[in-house]
Amino acid sequence: MRHFQEFEKTTGFAFQNPELLKQAFVHRSYLNEHPDFPLAHNERLEFLGDAVLELVVTEYLYQTYPNPEGELTNWRASLVNAKTLSEIAMNLEIGEYLFLSKGEAKDAKSKARQIILANAFEAVVGAIYLDQGYAAAQKFVSEHVLIRLKFIMDNNLAKDAKSRFQETAQEKFGLTPTYKVLSESGPDHNRKFVVGVYIGQDKIAEGVGTSKQEAQMSAASAGLQAKGWI
């Protein structure tokens, strides 16, 4: 595990209360194995950081672009979703600072790790806000999140996979895609859905997720790949 001073140096934010920064990297699983650890997990900081992040992004979009609400909402969703935030977290090497259980530490490439990284990034935003105020949090979000907006706009990534797949299918075939649950398994707290996406009677691709909506999004993304529509 790396020293947190390295993170401060990388980001340019020197914490008045270093324990706040450290807490931002504590995953709940670590405390299950280390109950005497002096800090709490990062979920409260994540809760705060999520709100600060959304406010900074929303305020920037509102002040900068006169576009309709729907477009601003799509841009914001593209900037603050788990995939984007986990990529930013990886760029900042947040994974090198995480306090994880042995099991979580081994599972480096899973969907769960993506969520953990995204949540840790939000926790860092919350920690900066508490330690240095809104202006500092705004600066951090601008440097690492808002900077991605141009790429999202230039590549038309603001629309989710389902929207893009539907629009392209309607344009090319005059048909609206349909989704069908192919299988459902696992206990209630950890369901697994397999969903197929169809154009007419033809199944184009399948997707997997922990909810029907997530599986549909995965299927649409796979469908875009299968049809070469990306």
Q: How far is 201 from 192, CA to CA, in rounded Å?
A: 24
Q: Does the annotation count 184 as an active-site position? A: no
Angle, vertex CA 170, rays to CA 165 and CA 176, nearest 5? 75
Catalytic residue among 50, 104, 131, 206: 50
Q: Does the annotation count 214 as an active-site position? A: no
Q: Which of 125, 126, 106, 104 is nearest to 115 (CA)?
A: 104
Catalytic residue among 54, 59, 71, 122: 122
Q: What is the token pair recorded at 151?
A: 């790429």
Angle, vertex CA 152, rays to CA 49 and CA 137, nearest 5? 25
Q: Which of 18, 148, 7, 5 is nearest to 85 (CA)?
A: 148
Catalytic amino acids? Answer: 50, 122
